[in-house]
Structure 1
């Protein structure tokens, strides 16, 4: 009997015509799987891949300048509704989907296409697990962390679907080998917990360093990540919760 195929988390990345569906459409999807091995460790699995997608509309020059996918490249490509489901739902092996700043991918990858999959946002998880990083973009984390085993050329060019998914998969692998799957999913359901203040007079400071009056102002900020973090720091000062590096208890949830 052949050995059963392992459970996987499928990392995906999208290149699109813009940021706001349905006004904008997908023009490429890439993926790379991370699988749980018999030794209880997670690692990259399979070759991954990418598919060009006809977005059904012209690609604006400002977007084309980011990923360099042209209208003529996708003119004969399949439509999103015809190719998304097989990539997003490799049932029954997939236990979750993942992406860096997954809120963006989720706006295009609806529950109907993903069979209501759980998602892991590697950006939100990096904020909690690696708060000392100088930035939390996919590529900054790549060069700050230098994950073991990554093939530099395979992760290029940036801003194309497969290379970006490939790089994200290394972040996810290392996260899953430090924290539980359930914990990463739980963190990903909330806004981002920012380790440092983003802007204003306190820019760059850790949240525990700022004055009470400044903290109170952030509680009504327009940015949901800022509001969420300010509330977490307020709760910490009131005797509960934490802001910054995840505790051992959190990692094992």
Structure 2
């Protein structure tokens, strides 16, 4: 039976290679009959054996020990049941989803689309001073978030639970398709993030400076600078893709 849900995923890892997951957590956000979105009771976490020792540096973040995962399944075996649950998903979601996507490859997700709650927060709440998952938690104080379930931070299920509250509120402000569209683009930064202009609005920067920033190595900076140049009429709108020719049968 199909379930109208988005599954929020959070991973704790032992490194950067595709199998280095040591914990996965999830929390579902579901569409109610009245069109609103809410958190369901479907949440959980699994320890995962990364197949190699966990470094002290990563233990210091999530406090998962080698002994904790010694008898746990490998990621390639455990992932499909979490990422492709019975009833399917409308999308998967994560905060800074590009990180999770490094490990949740399409062959494990069934090709599911992704929502990045970090990118969507930039669009929906640009007035906020910071956009990390935990900062959004305390800047916004989402309704219904139970403090104890969202702790400890930097463990997979509590972090997914916190992210799901942000996602719920986003889905109640913008459509699923809009969130997916924003997530497929680089981040639209509300303020200059680095350098001597850090904290300044993009509108306050000279056009010559924006042109230079549109060639920056950072994709989010390039995209935001190009967007502001386009707003000023200094860069043409990207051409719409050609319509596919219809075939008569």
Shared fold by TM > 0.5? yes
Q: Distance in 2 between matches of 1:213 and 1:5?
A: 52
The 3-state SS of whatever aligns with 1:153 is coil
Please name the residue that 2:17 is paired with.
21
Deviates further, 145-154 or 84-93? 84-93
1:34 matches 2:18: no
Please name the residue that 1:222 is paired with.
217
Q: Deviations over 1:174-194 (max 9, x none)?
A: 000010000000110111010
Q: Distance in 1 between matches of 2:184 and 2:89?
A: 18
Deviates further, 232-241 or 152-161? 232-241
Q: Distance in 1 between matches of 2:128 and 2:155?
A: 23
Q: Distance in 1 between matches of 2:39 and 2:172?
A: 12
Please name the residue that 2:61 is paired with.
66
Superposed counterparts of 1:84-99, under 5 Å: 84-99=79-94
Please name the residue that 2:243 is paired with.
none
Structure 2 unaligned runs (5+)? 238-249
Distance apart, 1:92 and its partner CA: 3.1
Structure 1 unaligned runs (5+)? 243-253
Distance apart, 1:147 and its partner CA: 0.6
Please name the residue that 2:4 is paired with.
7
Q: Assess if the C-alpha contact under 8 Å between 2:226 and 2:235 holds in 1.
A: no
Superposed counterparts of 1:1-253, under 5 Å: 6-18=3-15, 20-22=16-18, 25-238=20-233
Q: Deviations over 1:109-160 (max 9, x none)?
A: 0000000001000000000000011100000000001110000111011100
The 3-state SS of whatever aligns with 2:90 is strand
The 3-state SS of whatever aligns with 1:154 is coil
Q: Distance in 2 between matches of 1:239 and 1:122?
A: 30
Superposition CA RMSD, Å: 1.6
Scaled by the length of structure 1, the TM-score of the pair is 0.90
Please name the residue that 1:250 is paired with.
none
Q: Distance in 1 between matches of 2:88 and 2:105?
A: 19
Distance apart, 1:53 and its partner CA: 0.0
Distance apart, 1:210 and its partner CA: 1.1
The 3-state SS of whatever aligns with 1:34 is strand
Structure 1 segments of 4 or more deviating over 4 A?
A: 239-242
Q: How many residues align?
A: 237
Q: Distance in 2 between matches of 1:209 and 1:220?
A: 18
Q: Assess if the C-alpha contact under 8 Å between 1:6 and 1:37 holds in 2.
A: no
